[in-house]
Chain A
């Protein structure tokens, strides 16, 4: 597919448009652009239907039906047109900039919140050849970019010139700094086990069977990573940055229309990213759980998507099940529970690797 595009569209077009000295750069740029589009558009469509899935799943968990009115082309289809109707509604609404707000930062905040959550997709390997940027320090890159997503939130809160928004921003900043440390330490465990920072190599190191995946030797770190991921994306039960019962809608209380929907997109893109990363780091990524069996055992990106979908379902399940945490308990969980667990398990993981415990590290 990519080869066809390169040989029949990008090469001929750039040959006409650019002099031969800069043609390789033009080819590289256009090819990368095509790959970026090929990643971003499916992510956006997934976000669209994740909102729908969220309302449906939570609806059924709470013994309701969820949205079922808006169909497509005159068919009801269990409300399948709902996310499109929602998107159109959001696009058509007016963006109100509050008086006294810092206009530049107010507009920049949604962009700053969505940019890192999309940029992090650059290093996600979909199978053993499909990855936009196969860089050596992929794990570090992911950590750096997930830590940037907090800027959108705190700038939004400050620039809105509103007390509720500011409180939400302050809560979010403290929470994300706390959980980022636990998240980083959990990933250090993965890097000890895999011996590499490259995400493709991390998946290859889990080759074998379900029991070769890192979830078993790094069991506490899986829990810490995924729960920290939920906290990092500001999802229930850690969504105190929004806290509609206390501070209305938190950091995005002053945002409406498209500006609000960009925050929404960023949050859901982050959820998908965390689910993908959990399946890559601990659950073998694209590797099949039935390795050795002829057709089912082939590694493919569909296994990655299936695993990620399960974790996305967990996000929705959490939201329907747990009440919101009290803020001091969030802080306690992050600093006093998760960080000690990860530090202890780092030592255990190092011992496992050094002594070469089979079947993972022999």
Chain B
């Protein structure tokens, strides 16, 4: 019962914050509501004894991705009026996409196709069960090659992103710390010894 109350609190919070993300006017507030919805879903994962995934969600999405999101959103001077002009024009497309997504989700949930009612409820495991260990075991034994391939793809993506930003010839006046660190006293200061002119 206790778990159910907690579940409904966080599920309600998740639905509330997710709908606020798309309805609130201010983009910074929208990003903050997205943070709240990540948090609530992490709490729901904790209830499922998936503590590694829950904490990783907070660490990666809330701690890093959303900080950069906020960073960008705060710097933008978003003028909201032109954004709302196209609402009626894009409405049919939006409704079509929404209906298609609802049909797809319905297919997943309805039992005749995916037999979701034959899957038993998750078993509650004792305090000795470590989700982190289980995940590590699965990732580094059964799924080692897919895991390594995913890692390699991510690495390629990182390098591609960096090389895209540095494609142009460097024209900024950024300082080069390597050169600055190498500077010695002799490069900058000339000590001239001279006699005193007056006694």
Contacts and interface: CB of A to CB of B under 8 A. Distances in A.
The answer to whether A binds B is yes
Interface of A: 25, 102, 105, 135-137, 140-141, 143-144, 147-148, 150-151, 154-155, 158, 166, 169-170, 173-174, 176-177, 180, 197, 328-329, 332
B67 A173 contact: yes
Contacts of A176: 67
B174 A25 contact: no
Contact of A197 (B28, B29, B70, B132): B132
A140 B177 contact: no
Interface in B148-189: 174-175, 177
Contacts of B21: none
25 contacts: A105-B32, A136-B51, A136-B133, A137-B131, A140-B55, A143-B63, A144-B55, A144-B62, A147-B62, A150-B63, A151-B35, A151-B70, A154-B70, A154-B74, A158-B70, A166-B74, A170-B74, A173-B68, A176-B67, A177-B67, A180-B64, A328-B174, A328-B175, A328-B177, A332-B177
Dominant SS among interface residues on chain A:
helix
A140 B74 contact: no
A328 B172 CA distance: 14
B74 to A, nearest CB: 5
B142 to A, nearest CB: 21
The 3 A-B residue pairs with the shortest CB-CB distance, nearest first, are A147-B63, A144-B59, A144-B58
Nearest to B35: A151
A151 B32 CA distance: 9
Contacts of B74: 154, 158, 166, 169-170
A140 B71 contact: no
Given A136-B132, A147-B59, A148-B62, A173 B28 contact: no
A356 B65 CA distance: 37
A25 B35 contact: no
Contact of A25 (B2, B32, B52, B56): B2
